[in-house]
Structure formats: structure tokens, C-alpha cells
């Protein structure tokens, strides 16, 4: 009798252990859609693209270029808060403007100062917002609101890579320095879409200085902080074309996330127009680029991708813009889940 009772207890434990999900949830990891989803909350009938997304957990501050404020005339950079939430009980995914009425990661007045500093009557494209000497992500919170901002402007007649940052010499008020060119990166052609690899102190960007757009890199001095090197207008820096990432076609908008670099290209092997591609770091170099495939790319243009790691999700988050049919008009912003590519320490 005692033995039978023990067997019954054992079987009940087995049933309970197999019936109850780990941590008590039915779904322990989030799932992102594998077909692109229009970010309707942020799109307009105008062109909304050139996305950048510092993150806090699953709360993002999106910076992107849009010509909505000038009725389609010129591009300015704006910001919006974006939240993505996965319900572990019923697997519902909600994505859009802030869902839980959180205040957000960044002081809105500071973000507005950034926009007031960088926007002009000309075109501002490809914003990158980070902390002064490290990538802005879910795991590095900068309580002093010390920011570094890179973008491209055509105020000179062609696109030049620009810089501003928090005025570190002013301890009483939070101000941003006057925008300045990063002279050693720029040429007489279009230079745009900078992306910083803070770990290896390399800046990537695209330029049509060689007729077609290619992807270039500049290795910054290892012994100096990134900000010092970016502001050093007399820096003797080598600008190298990334042969494995570039092609005889146009290769644009590089964006690095740890060990993965994503970009857009109209090279052969895609679905038509500009497609999204990725390359994975191999030692000190990069793998042969791979197309994200027809599940994501179309015969239309897919542009300015960024890739983000999300804890507790089965996918990496890919965000981009596209002029495919079905949007609100012009280029719209989209998001989609892709296979895990980013190596994360968290």
C-alpha cells in the first residue's frame, strides 16, 4: 500500500512537471513575426526611413528621417518611443507607441535638444545616437545623459558626416556643441550612414567617392576614446573600402550590431531594387554577405536596416524602411524577426 501510494505521488509529480511550463509560463521565450510588419503608429504618407534605435529592454527610442514636416520637401530627424511586448501566457505580441505609459529611457527635453541642434532647412539622414564612448543599448544606462550623435547633412552641397555631443565642459546646463564635420571621413562626394564599432574602435560608412556607393571603414586609434578621435580634425586616418562588403553595384547604409553588419544593396542576387543583406564577423574580417531572402525583401526597395538583440526572444529584431505597396505612402518603417545572428554577453 505504501509502495503504491509512493508510485501515485511520483506519477503526479511527473504529470505536474510536464504539464506546467518552465517558470510557470506557457511560453518562455518571445516570438517575433517572420514576415515584415508595418509600424503604422510611426508612418505617414511621406517618406519615413533611416531608422536608428537605442534600446532599453523592449522599449526603444526610435530616431529616423522623415520629410513629413516639410510636406515632402526635405528630410529632418525626429524621435518616437516604441515598445514591443510579448505575453508569455497567450503569445500575443504588441508593438507600437508606448503601451504601458512608461516615461521612457531618455528625458524628452534632451532628445528635443538633439533635434534642435542637428536639424536644418537641408536634408539630415542616417542618424546614430549613442552614449559618448559606448553603444547605447539595453544594458548600459547613462544617468548623466551624455550623448554622441552622428548623421549626414547635404548643407554643403553633398552629404557629409556630421557630429555633435553633449558639452562636457559645461557642468551646469545640458547643451550640445555646434555640429561639425568629421573632416577625415568626408570627401567631395556623398558620405553618409556612419556606424560605430565601439569594441574595436572602427567606424563604418558608405560613400560614392568611387562612382558607385561602397562601404568604407576607418580604424580609430586604440589608445584613445572614440569621441577624442572623432573630434580630432587633424587625425591621420586610413579610409579603406571594405572589399568583401562592397560590390560593383551600390552598397549603402551599414549598421553594425556586435558581430553582425547589415546593409542595403542593389547588387545581383536579390529580389529587385535595394535588398537587405548581412555579414558576420570572421576573425578580423567579414563573411561573404548573405541576402535576407524573399520573406523580407521584395522587388521594391528595402532600406537602412538595423539589427537588435532582444533577451528572451527566439529571434533578433530587424527594423528597416521600404516603399513596397500596402504602406501609408512613400517609404514606411517595418519590423520583422530573423534568426539569431548577434552574439550577446547577456
- Of residues 132 and 273, more confidence is placed in 273
Q: What is the pLDDT of residue 298?
A: 97
Tell me which residue of 171, 285, 186, 260 sits closest to 230, measured CA to CA. 186
- Measured CA to CA, the distance from residue 89 to residue 48 in angstroms comes to 34
Give the mean pLDDT of 258-267.
97
Q: What is the pLDDT of residue 6?
A: 46
Tell me which residue of 321, 323, 245 sits closest to 286, measured CA to CA. 245
Q: Of the ranges 17-26, 255-264, 291-300, which one carries the lowest mean pLDDT score?
A: 17-26
Instruction: Output Rg (C-alpha) for the chain, integer angstroms.
Output: 22
Each residue of 294-315: pLDDT tens digit? 999 999 999 999 999 988 889 9
* pLDDT reading at 346 higher than 80: no
Return the percentage of the chain with pLDDT > 70, whole number. Answer: 81
Q: What is the pLDDT of residue 23?
A: 53
Under the banding of pLDDT at 50, 70 and 90, the label for residue 22 is very low
Q: What is the pLDDT of residue 97?
A: 78
C-alpha cell of 161? Answer: 558626416
Each residue of 123-134: pLDDT tens digit? 999 999 887 756
* pLDDT reading at 159 higher than 50: yes
Domain 2-338: which topology?
Neuraminidase (2.120.10)
Q: What is the mean pLDDT of the chain?
A: 83
Q: What is the pLDDT of residue 12?
A: 37
- Measured CA to CA, the distance from residue 136 to residue 53 in angstroms comes to 9
Could you tell me if 159 and 192 are in contact, meaning their C-beta atoms sit under 8 angstroms apart?
A: yes
- Of residues 98 and 328, more confidence is placed in 328
* pLDDT reading at 29 higher than 60: yes
* pLDDT reading at 145 higher than 70: no
Q: What is the DSSP letter of 220?
A: P
Q: What is the pLDDT of residue 139?
A: 39
Return the percentage of the chain with pLDDT > 90, whole number. Answer: 47
Domain boundaries, the chain: 2-338
Question: What helix, strand, coil percent values describe the chain, rounded to 5?
Answer: 10, 40, 50
Q: What's phi and psi for 9, nearest 5 deg?
A: -60, -45
- Of residues 280 and 78, more confidence is placed in 280
- Measured CA to CA, the distance from residue 252 to residue 249 in angstroms comes to 10
Each residue of 58-107: pLDDT tens digit? 677 888 888 888 887 888 988 888 888 888 888 888 888 765 555 555 67
Q: What is the pLDDT of residue 310?
A: 87
**Residue 333, class by beta-carbon neighbours within 10 Å (0-12 exposed, 13-18 middle, 19+ buried)?**
buried
Q: What is the DSSP letter of 276?
A: E
Q: Which strand ranges, in their side-by-side order, compose the sheet holding 160-165?
A: 124-131, 147-153, 160-165, 180-181
Each residue of 165-220: pLDDT tens digit? 988 666 656 688 999 999 999 999 999 999 999 888 999 999 999 989 999 999 99
C-alpha cell of 33? Answer: 513575426
Q: Of the ranges 27-41, 227-241, 274-288, which one carries the lowest mean pLDDT score?
A: 27-41
- Of residues 41 and 196, more confidence is placed in 196
The tally of CA atoms less than 13 A away on the side-chain side of residue 286 is: 25
Q: What is the pLDDT of residue 138?
A: 40
C-alpha cell of 142? Answer: 547613462
Q: What is the DSSP letter of 176?
A: B
- Measured CA to CA, the distance from residue 48 to residue 178 in angstroms comes to 26
Amino acid at each position: 500500500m505504501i509502495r503504491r501510494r509512493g508510485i501515485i505521488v511520483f506519477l503526479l509529480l511527473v504529470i505536474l512537471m510536464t504539464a506546467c511550463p518552465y517558470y510557470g509560463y506557457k511560453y518562455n521565450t518571445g516570438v517575433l513575426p517572420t514576415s515584415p510588419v508595418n509600424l503604422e503608429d510611426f508612418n505617414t504618407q511621406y517618406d519615413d526611413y533611416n531608422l536608428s534605435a537605442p534600446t532599453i529592454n523592449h522599449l526603444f527610442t526610435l530616431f529616423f528621417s522623415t520629410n513629413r514636416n516639410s510636406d515632402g520637401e526635405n528630410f529632418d530627424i525626429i524621435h518616437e518611443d516604441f515598445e514591443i511586448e510579448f505575453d508569455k501566457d497567450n503569445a500575443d505580441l504588441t508593438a507600437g507607441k508606448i503601451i504601458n505609459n512608461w516615461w521612457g529611457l531618455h528625458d524628452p527635453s534632451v532628445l528635443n535638444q538633439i533635434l534642435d541642434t542637428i536639424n536644418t532647412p537641408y536634408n539630415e539622414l542616417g542618424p546614430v545616437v549613442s552614449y559618448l564612448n559606448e553603444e547605447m543599448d539595453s544594458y548600459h544606462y547613462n544617468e548623466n545623459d551624455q550623448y554622441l550623435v552622428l548623421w549626414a547633412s547635404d548643407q554643403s552641397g553633398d552629404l557629409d558626416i556630421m557630429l555633435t555631443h553633449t558639452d562636457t565642459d559645461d557642468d551646469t546646463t545640458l547643451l550640445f556643441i555646434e555640429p561639425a564635420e568629421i573632416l577625415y571621413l568626408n570627401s567631395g562626394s556623398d558620405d553618409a550612414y556612419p556606424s560605430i564599432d565601439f569594441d574595436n574602435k572602427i567606424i563604418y560608412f558608405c560613400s560614392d567617392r568611387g562612382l558607385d556607393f561602397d562601404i568604407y571603414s576607418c580604424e580609430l586609434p586604440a589608445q584613445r576614446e572614440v569621441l577624442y578621435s572623432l573630434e580630432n580634425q587633424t587625425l591621420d586616418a586610413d579610409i579603406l573600402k571594405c572589399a568583401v562588403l562592397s560590390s560593383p553595384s551600390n552598397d549603402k547604409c551599414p549598421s553594425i550590431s556586435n558581430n553582425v553588419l547589415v546593409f542595403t544593396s542593389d547588387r545581383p542576387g536579390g529580389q529587385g531594387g535595394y535588398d537587405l543583406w548581412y555579414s558576420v564577423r570572421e576573425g578580423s574580417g567579414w563573411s561573404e554577405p548573405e541576402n535576407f531572402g524573399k520573406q523580407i525583401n521584395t522587388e521594391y526597395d528595402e532600406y537602412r536596416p538595423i539589427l537588435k538583440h532582444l533577451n528572451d526572444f527566439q529571434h533578433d529584431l530587424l527594423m528597416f524602411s521600404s516603399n513596397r505597396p500596402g504602406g501609408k505612402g512613400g517609404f514606411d518603417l517595418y519590423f520583422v524577426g530573423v534568426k539569431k545572428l548577434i552574439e550577446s554577453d547577456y
